[in-house]
Structure 1
Amino acid sequence: MKVLIISNNSLSVSSNNGKTLNSIFSFFEQHEVCQLYFHSGEEPTSTVCRSFFRLSLKDSILNWIKPTEKRAVLPNTKNLCHSRPVKEKLIPANNSIIYPILMIWRDLLWSFSRWYSSNLMEWLSIEKPTIVFFLAGNTGFTHTIAVKISRVLEIPLAIYFTDDYLLFPIKRNIIDTVFHYHLEKKYQRSLSISTMRFTIGEYMADEYSRYFNKTFTPIMNCVEVEEGRAPLANTKKSIKIVYFGGLHLGRADMILRFAIVLSSISKKYFIDVSLSIYSSSHISDSVKRMFEINNINYNRAVPSEQIPEISKNFDCFLHVESDEMYFRSLTRLSVSTKIPEYLSLFRPIIAFGPLEVASMRILSDNNIGLTISSAKEDVEIESILYEFFANYKHRQQKAIDGLKYAMDIFDRKKVAYGFRSQLLQLDA
């Protein structure tokens, strides 16, 4: 078996989709995996795969000028064991005019580009993949590429959705409507020839199965789950909370609101409650000032392998989702890659945001975290948090239940091995 992964992001040990791919393919041998990716600003950081082909829009257009020019990562043999924080660019997804126009324009440019070059054909002939595994996003051209390669090589196509760009995102204007119509046509075409389909979680699998009338299997970011994690400190007068991850999609505003409530608790109940953030997101000077005013300790992102050790210094994890209508429609079916990581580290999770979002639901439905609706008044949120901070046994039980859930559902040995077994069926 040889799997060709096609995705926008390269395999990674630190950044969202790349990290999820890296985890679910961790039971594959290096010679069983190769990757075609499109993000020109990324360098792979993975021990799972050593053969990469980077195909950017610029490269594809330049192939018309110099078709023999090699512009690929062919193959990458660097030591990529250690991750580096990746800077996030805040794509203006909330710009209802510019964003969909940019997406449509990009798809048009790709359609006229010379992406199926002699270099790519040569690389594919060397790699000889037997399966295409396509991580589908909100770009139509990637569907075109995955479908064509699957058909030309006459190999099965498996599709994986980690974010919902079709069912629940609000269509804000006619341009959004046109873009979604274009994207759905691409989805339908890809799914029509697919032989296996996956989603990031059960909620998305259920919705997509109903909508497309096809079977979807949930598979999420999997993690190493070890017993004997650092014990939870028995303290009531000092609570340290930490947030790891992006501040995009309105999350910075939610963290600020949460921090204001924490400040009120500290003053009213004489509890030293602190909040620290580790993030690669670019933030404005005004947001930095607001963080400082509200006693938020802002730090640059750290490599993923350092998170378990840093987490030992904290009592709780924080996860937030925006309650702004458009952002919550984007995240409705997506489960954050941080949830499995948090649960495996034996610390209780505090989740703050709209309750219908999948990252909130997975915690509340399974009773493995403290979920607080952002629809509540700040006074009520303050009361809920104070009771949680004051009750050590309750916090400890949430950590225990979360760890058990991670061992059952997100353990790498179970998930990655099961995933490999499923793909083997396509290669039979």
Structure 2
Amino acid sequence: MRLDDDYPRVLVVGAKPFSRSTNEGITLSNLFQGWPVDRLAQVHTVEGVRSADVCASFYHFGLRNFPVDHALRRVLGAVGGPTGAVAASGGTAAARRGSSSRLMTQLRAAADLTPSRFPDDLAPWLRRHRPDLVYSLLGSVRVNRLAVRIARDLGVPLVPHFMDDWPSTNYGSGELFGLARASLLRTLRAAVRMAPRGMCISQPMADEYQRQYGIPFGAFANCVDDTAFADGPPDDTGRPSSWPVELVYVGGLHLGRWQTLARIAEVLDRSAQEEPPVLRLTVYAPEHDLSQFREAFGGRRSVRLDRWLHSDEVPKVLHTADVLVHVESFAPAHRRYTRLSLSTKIPQYLAAGRPILGFGPAEVASMRHIADAQAGVVVGKDDPEPLSRALRQLRDAGLRHTWGRNGLDHARRHHRRETLSRRFAEFLGEASGTGAGAGKDPTDREGQDG
């Protein structure tokens, strides 16, 4: 049992609050689960539903603290601008959508760069919590500036945690004539200068960032509670071959993932000679994604689109599937963005003890993680023939059992919350100069994922 003194006092600074409804909020909640409540607080910029089961003290650094942005939104809303009519123009002609999208992109960049004011009650709130360090996922000019300023004012180190490779891609289209990207990189450099070490979501990202930024990086992905682990993979060897194999995808359809899923749907329908199909795919996705991309799956008899799941419902759905599906886009811009990212649901997939079909660029960290765990079959190129072969393999109950067992064993070694949370606390303790982690090598990979 860890003593409270082993845990540094941490101030989390970021966009979204601790919650059980967003990927960011879930990952934060899982990593900090069990942290002493009096040693954890959060400043967040986005208004959202908070979950108080992990963190109980919040400060919402909201829109009122960005007066220029606030005034701009009010003006645009009054004249039916992007906060009103333009934002709702999804059903208009393609040219108008393109024009509106470009305008929105520029306005979002301008909003990100607008200056903020620090309210009078923030400084005493921060002093009351007496943090040993600031932990932040960073990601925008707004959040980067806020994290750096708070850490500097408090005189404590800042530990960044990179969940995707946004430093290589954000504002890469020259928004605001390049000013947005220049500001992003400048605030990132300021954050790294205050960081004795950093965190990444995958080991490939940690290796690359350590070379790039010259400070130690550790790999910390989403972790899984023991209650969400399967007892073992099912033994389907006695199941009739005519029974359908149920494929399940849980996640967003953004970043081009809808296109990759649509290709799976196309191959499933093309290869289906039986009635009903022997291989069927169910997609659980957010409602706004389903509304936007539903037409891409129209008429596909092998695919069913279902509602978004609450986090408490996910383990049961994963455990009752025959095969779990993870996809990434093959589009160059998307594969650059996801190249070093490990999807937050991959640890959950592995812990479910079900085989995984990975369809996406072979170099992407999520696909490499599945392959390294020998937890399924990865189709690393956009080609219907190897995808068809992989789907045929997934009809083999013996292979499904072997892959499911491999994934479950990998998750037990690398993604158990208790193990990862202990390393996480030690890592932050070393960064702050407090706790049981002091003096340990942050690049020691014992027990790390990947």
With the shorter chain as reference, the TM-score category is: 0.7 to 0.9
**What are the within-5 Å matches in structure 2 for residues 290-305 of structure 1?**
290-295=296-301, 296-305=303-312
Cα separation, 1, equivalents of 2:54 and 2:372: 33
2:19 to 2, 7, 12: 12
State whether residues 265 and 386 of structure 1, in contact with CA within 8 Å, keep that contact through their aligned partners in structure 2.
no
Cα separation, 2, equivalents of 1:168 and 1:311: 32
Matched letter for residue 162 of structure 1: M
Aligned: 1:228 with 2:231: yes
Cα separation, 1, equivalents of 2:254 and 2:288: 9
**Structure 1 vs Structure 2: percent identity of aligned residues?**
28
Match of 1:165 in 2: 166
Cα separation, 2, equivalents of 1:276 and 1:153: 49
Cα deviation for residue 180 of structure 1 reads 2.6
Cα deviation for residue 404 of structure 1 reads 0.7
Match of 1:417 in 2: 422
CA deviations over 1:190-242 (Å, ceiling 9, x no partner): 10111221111111111111211222111110102445246253443310011
Match of 1:87 in 2: none
Match of 2:444 in 1: none
Cα separation, 1, equivalents of 2:381 and 2:167: 25
Note closer, same or farther for the CA distance 1:37–1:175 as it changes in structure 2 (3 Å cut). same
2:272 to 261, 266, 276: 266
* Structure 2 alignment gaps of length 5 or more: 1-7, 72-89, 91-96, 435-450
Cα separation, 2, equivalents of 1:232 and 1:2: 47
Give the match's secondary structure for 1:118: coil
* Structure 1 alignment gaps of length 5 or more: 66-89
Note closer, same or farther for the CA distance 1:277–1:159 as it changes in structure 2 (3 Å cut). same
Aligned: 1:128 with 2:130: yes
Give the match's secondary structure for 2:330: coil
Give the match's secondary structure for 1:150: helix
TM-score using structure 2 length = 0.81
Aligned: 1:55 with 2:71: no
Aligned: 1:353 with 2:360: yes
Match of 1:202 in 2: 203
Cα separation, 2, equivalents of 1:157 and 1:6: 10
State whether residues 328 and 354 of structure 1, in contact with CA within 8 Å, keep that contact through their aligned partners in structure 2.
yes
State whether residues 163 and 201 of structure 2, in contact with CA within 8 Å, keep that contact through their aligned partners in structure 1.
yes
Cα deviation for residue 344 of structure 1 reads 0.2
Cα separation, 2, equivalents of 1:189 and 1:424: 22
Cα deviation for residue 381 of structure 1 reads 1.7
State whether residues 246 and 281 of structure 1, in contact with CA within 8 Å, keep that contact through their aligned partners in structure 2.
no
State whether residues 4 and 33 of structure 1, in contact with CA within 8 Å, keep that contact through their aligned partners in structure 2.
yes
**What are the within-5 Å matches in structure 2 for residues 6-85 of structure 1?**
6-40=13-47, 42-61=48-67
Give the match's secondary structure for 2:166: coil
State whether residues 12 and 43 of structure 2, in contact with CA within 8 Å, keep that contact through their aligned partners in structure 1.
yes
Cα separation, 1, equivalents of 2:98 and 2:188: 20
Aligned: 1:372 with 2:379: yes
Aligned: 1:394 with 2:395: no
CA deviations over 1:354-395 (Å, ceiling 9, x no partner): 11111111112332221112422x133212311231x21111
Cα separation, 2, equivalents of 1:222 and 1:187: 26
Matched letter for residue 199 of structure 1: C
Match of 1:337 in 2: 344
State whether residues 21 and 310 of structure 2, in contact with CA within 8 Å, keep that contact through their aligned partners in structure 1.
yes
Identify which range, 248-257 or 228-237, moves more after superposition. Answer: 228-237
Note closer, same or farther for the CA distance 1:246–1:404 as it changes in structure 2 (3 Å cut). same
Cα deviation for residue 310 of structure 1 reads 2.1
Note closer, same or farther for the CA distance 1:2–1:37 as it changes in structure 2 (3 Å cut). same
Match of 1:217 in 2: 218
Give the match's secondary structure for 2:182: helix
State whether residues 236 and 398 of structure 2, in contact with CA within 8 Å, keep that contact through their aligned partners in structure 1.
no
Cα deviation for residue 55 of structure 1 reads 1.2
Note closer, same or farther for the CA distance 1:95–1:316 as it changes in structure 2 (3 Å cut). farther
Aligned: 1:141 with 2:142: yes
Cα deviation for residue 271 of structure 1 reads 4.9
Cα deviation for residue 57 of structure 1 reads 2.4
State whether residues 162 and 199 of structure 2, in contact with CA within 8 Å, keep that contact through their aligned partners in structure 1.
yes
Match of 2:75 in 1: none
Cα separation, 2, equivalents of 1:282 and 1:270: 29
Note closer, same or farther for the CA distance 1:159–1:269 as it changes in structure 2 (3 Å cut). same
Note closer, same or farther for the CA distance 1:29–1:180 as it changes in structure 2 (3 Å cut). same
Note closer, same or farther for the CA distance 1:34–1:174 as it changes in structure 2 (3 Å cut). closer
State whether residues 4 and 133 of structure 1, in contact with CA within 8 Å, keep that contact through their aligned partners in structure 2.
yes
Cα separation, 2, equivalents of 1:315 and 1:186: 46
CA RMSD in angstroms, aligned pairs only? 2.8
Cα separation, 1, equivalents of 2:389 and 2:110: 49
CA deviations over 1:31-70 (Å, ceiling 9, x no partner): 2111111112x111241111111112234429999xxxxx
Cα separation, 1, equivalents of 2:173 and 2:219: 29
Cα separation, 1, equivalents of 2:98 and 2:343: 18
